[in-house]
Structure 1
Amino acid sequence: MKTLYHRLGSPKWFYQITGTWLPWFAAASVLLLASGLIWGLAYAPMDYQQGNSFRIIYIHVPAALLAQSVYMMMAIAGVVLLVWKIKMADVVAQSLAPVGASMTFIALVTGAIWGVPTWGTWWMWDARLTSMLILFFLYLGVMALREALKPQEVAAKACAVLAIVGVINIPIIKYSVDWWYTLHQPATFTLTEKPAMPASMWVPLLIMVLGFYAFLGWSVLLRARSEVLKREQKSGWVKELLQRK
Structure 2
Amino acid sequence: MVTETSPSPKLAPTVGSRNRWFAYASPAVFYPLAGKLIPWFFALAALLTCVGLYIGFFIAPTDFQQGDSYRIIFLHVPAAWMSMVIYLAMAFWAVIGLVFNTRLSSMMASALAPTGTMFTFLALWTGSLWGKPTWGTWWVWDARLTSYLILLFLYIGFISLQAALDDARRADKAGAVLALVGVVNIPIIYFSVQWWNTLHQGSSISFTAAPTMVATMLWGMLIMALAFWAYSIAAALTRVRCIILEREKRSDWVRELVEKQS
Common fold by TM > 0.5: yes
Aligned to 2:83: 67
Summarize the alignment of residues 101-140 of structure 1 with structure 2, pairs less than 5 Å apart: 101-140=117-156
- Letter of the 2:141 partner, please give it: W
Q: Could you report, residue by residue, the CA deviation over 1:147-186 in whole angstroms, capped at 9, with x for unpaired residues? A: 1123111111000000001000000000001000011111
RMSD: 1.4
- 1:201 is displaced (CA, Å) by 1.2
Matched, 1:236 2:252: yes
Report the 3-state secondary structure (helix = DSSP H, G, I; strand = E; otherwise coil) of the residue aligned with 1:90: helix
- Letter of the 1:237 partner, please give it: W
Query: What CA distance in whole angstroms lies between the structure 2 residues aligned with 1:77 and 1:238?
Result: 23
Aligned to 1:147: 163
Is the CA contact (8 Å cut-off) linking 2:98 and 2:106 kept in structure 1?
no
Is the CA contact (8 Å cut-off) linking 1:8 and 1:88 kept in structure 2?
no
- 1:229 is displaced (CA, Å) by 1.1
- 1:67 is displaced (CA, Å) by 0.7
Where does structure 2 lack aligned partners over 5 or more consecutive residues?
1-16
- The alignment of Structure 1 onto Structure 2 pairs a total of residues equal to 245
- 1:5 is displaced (CA, Å) by 6.9
Aligned to 2:188: 172
Q: Percent identity?
A: 48
Where does structure 1 lack aligned partners over 5 or more consecutive residues?
none
- 1:6 is displaced (CA, Å) by 4.3
Q: Quick one: which of 232, 235, 242 aligns to 1:216?
A: 232
- 1:71 is displaced (CA, Å) by 0.7
Which of the two has higher C-alpha Rg?
A: 2
Is the CA contact (8 Å cut-off) linking 1:53 and 1:114 kept in structure 2?
yes
- 1:9 is displaced (CA, Å) by 2.8
TM-score if structure 1 supplies the norm length? 0.96
Matched, 1:82 2:86: no
Higher normalized helix content (fraction of residues):
1
Aligned to 1:205: 221
- Letter of the 2:34 partner, please give it: T
- 1:4 is displaced (CA, Å) by 4.8
Query: What CA distance in whole angstroms lies between the structure 2 residues aligned with 1:31 and 1:226?
Result: 25
- Letter of the 1:207 partner, please give it: I
